[in-house]
Amino acid sequence: MNSSWEREAVRLMSDANDSGKTQVNDIDRSIYDFRYDEKDFYRNDPGLTEEIVSKLSDDKHDPAWMKEFRLKSLAIYNELKLTNWGPDIGDLHMEHIATYVRPNTKMQGDWKDVPQDIKDTFEKLGIPEAERTSLAGVGAQYDSELVYHNVRDEVAKQGVVYTDFESALWGPYADMIREHFMHLVTPRDHKFAALHGAVWSGGSFVYVPKGVHLTFPLQSYFRLNAKGAGQFEHTLIIVDEGADLHFIEGCSAPKYNVANIHAGCVELYVAKNAHLRYSTIENWSKNMYNLNTKRAKVEEGGTIEWVSGSFGSHVSYLYPESDLVGERARAEFTGITFAGSGQNLDTGAKMVHKAPHTSSVITTKSISKGGGISTYRSAVYIAKNAAGSKASVSCQSLMLDSNSRSDTIPAMEVLTDDVDVGHEAKIGRISNEAVFYLMSRGISEEEARSMIVSGFANPVSKELPLEYAVEMNNLIRLEMKGTL
C-alpha cells in the first residue's frame, strides 16, 4: 500500500506553510435545496412515546411481532445513554422530531402515477433518467414511505426480489425478513439503533438468488423533504451463494433551520462466494443529524465492497462494519468525506476478522474546509482464530484552510501473530507550489485548487457509478467555488 501515489500525496500536500489565505463563502446547494409543501401529508405527533410508536405501528399495519419489536426497541432507547465520544448532538431534540411523515400517495410502479411535486423532486435528482439508462431497478422514498418501486422484468424473472420493506413483511419472504431484520445491527448496539428499531419506516428489501449476477445496479434514493422530521429507512439485502449485486443508495434533503435526523439501518448478508458492492452518495442538507448504522456479514469466500461519499449533513456518525465470518472472506471500504462550514463529520469503517485468511482494505480520503471538522475513525479487529489474515488501512486528509480540522483515530486490535497488518495516515494541505505549477500553464487559481482536490478524491470517485462520480466532482467544484 506504500504506492508512489501515497508517497506523493505527502509531497503534494506539504503542510510547510499556509500562506494561501482562504475566505469561505456560503455554499450554493441550490441543486438539492428545493422543497415542496406537505399538503395532504400525514405527520405524526413529534416526540417519542409508547403511544406514538404504537400508533405508528398501527398506521403501518405491522405484523404483531414487529409492533412488539418496536416497543421493545423504544424501551432500550430510553435505557441507553448517548455516546461520550464524537461530535456534539446536544441540539438534536427528539421531542421536536416527527418520526413519521407519509406522503399523499401509495407506492407506485409507474412514474406517471407519482404525484407531481414528488415526481419533480426525483426528476431534478435525475432518478428516472438513471433508471432508463443504467439501472436494473429503482426505489424512491419520499419522507417516510416509498413512493415508487420498479424492477426490470428480466431481473425479476431471474428471481431477484427488490421491493419496499412494508410489503415484504407480508409477502413470501416474510419469514426470511423476520430471521434477518436487526439481527446484524441489534437495537442494543447503540441508542440510535434502538431508535431505528422503534420508528423505522420505508427502505428496501433485496434478495438475489444463488448464482444470479446482476449486470446493472439496483438503486434506492431517499429524499427527506419534511421539516423537523426524521427518516428511518431500513435496507436489508441478502445476496445468496455465488450471486453478484451492485446496490446504490443516494440521499438528499432541502435545508431547514431546525434539526432533522436520519437514523437509517443497512444490513447486508453476503453468502458464500457472493459479491456485493454497496455504493452511497450522501448529500443531506446541513441541518441533518446523520446517525446511520451499516453492517455486512460475509461468509466464506464472499466479498463486500463499500464505496461511500459523505458530503452533506450537519453532524455525521457513520462507520460501516464488515464482519468477516467465513474463511477467505474479503471486505473493502473506499470512502470520501467532505466537511465544509458548519459540518462535523465523524466517519470511517470497522473491520472484524473472525475467520482465517480473511482480508480487509480501508482507503479513505477526507477534505475539510471553511471551519469544517472531519474525523476519520476506524477499528480493525482480528480475532485469535483469524490466522493468515490481512488488513490494511490508509487514510488521507486534506485541509483547505487553517480554521478547518482533521483528525484520524484509527484503532487496531490483533489477537493473533500470523497476520499482515499495515496502516498509514496522512494529513496535509494543498501545496502552494503545486498551485503555482498548474497556474503557470494558464489555469486559474480557483480551477487549480479544485483540480488538485478532485485529483485527491479521484481514487474514490472513479469507484463510483459514472453519474455519481460526475456529481461528486460537481460537488467538489461547488464547494471550492469562492474559496479564494
Q: Does 442 bind another protein (CB under 8 A)?
A: yes
Q: Does 244 bind another protein (CB under 8 A)?
A: no
Site string for another protein, 17-36 (x = CB under 8 A): --x-----------------
What is the nearest approach in angstroms of another protein to the Cβ of residue 442? 4
Q: Quick one: which segment of 40-48, 130-138, 142-150, 440-448 binds another protein (CB under 8 A)?
A: 440-448
What is the nearest approach in angstroms of another protein to the Cβ of residue 318? 24
What is the nearest approach in angstroms of another protein to the Cβ of residue 360? 23
Q: Does 434 bind another protein (CB under 8 A)?
A: yes
What is the nearest approach in angstroms of another protein to the Cβ of residue 217? 24
Site string for another protein, 206-225 (x = CB under 8 A): --------------------
What three-state secondary structure class fits 77? helix
| Residue nearer to another protein on the CB measure, 20 or 115 | 20
Cα end-to-end span (Å), the chain: 34
Q: Does 484 bind another protein (CB under 8 A)?
A: no
12, 147, 349, 469: which one binds another protein (CB under 8 A): 12
Q: How far apart are CA 326 and CA 386, in angstroms?
A: 10
What is the nearest approach in angstroms of another protein to the Cβ of residue 433? 6
Q: Does 79 bind another protein (CB under 8 A)?
A: no
Query: How many Cβ atoms are within 10 Å of 248's Cβ, its own excluded?
Result: 23
2, 11, 83, 470: which one binds another protein (CB under 8 A): 11
Q: Which residues contact 441 (CB under 8 A, 6 or more apart)?
A: none
Inter-CA distances, 453 with 157, 303, 425, Å:
44, 30, 18
Check: CB of residue 341 under 8 Å from CB of residue 312.
no
117, 327, 447, 467: which one binds another protein (CB under 8 A): 447
Q: Does 170 bind another protein (CB under 8 A)?
A: no
Cα angle 302-305-310, degrees, rounded to a multiple of 5: 155
Query: Hey, what's the cell of 469?
Result: 462520480
Phi, psi of 182 (to 5 degrees): 55, 40
54, 186, 341, 454: which one binds another protein (CB under 8 A): 454
What is the nearest approach in angstroms of another protein to the Cβ of residue 455? 3
What is the nearest approach in angstroms of another protein to the Cβ of residue 390? 24
Which H, E and C letters describe 93-150, residue by residue? CHHHCECCEECCCCCECCHHHCCHHHHHHHHHCCHHHHHHHHCCEEEEEECCEEEEEE
Q: Residue 364: which of 382, 381, 351 has the closest Cα?
A: 351
What is the nearest approach in angstroms of another protein to the Cβ of residue 437? 5
Check: CB of residue 457 under 8 Å from CB of residue 336.
yes
Q: Does 75 bind another protein (CB under 8 A)?
A: no
Q: How many residues form the binding site for another protein (CB under 8 A)?
A: 31
451, 477, 478, 482: which one binds another protein (CB under 8 A): 451
Cα angle 349-258-74, degrees, rounded to a multiple of 5: 60
Which amino acid would we find at residue 481?
A: K
DSSP 8-class letter at 417: S
458, 467, 477, 478: which one binds another protein (CB under 8 A): 458
What is the nearest approach in angstroms of another protein to the Cβ of residue 245? 29
Bridge partners (DSSP) of residue 138 are: 150, 219
Q: Quick one: which segment of 128-136, 234-242, 408-416, 449-457 binds another protein (CB under 8 A)?
A: 449-457
75, 94, 176, 439: which one binds another protein (CB under 8 A): 439
Q: How far apart are CA 478 and CA 482, in angstroms?
A: 9
> Taking CB under 8 A as the criterion, which residues in 404-433 touch another protein?
431-433
3-state helix, strand, coil in the chain (%, to 5): 25, 35, 40
Footprint of another protein on this chain (CB under 8 A)? 4-5, 8-9, 11-12, 19, 431-434, 436-445, 447-448, 451-452, 454-459
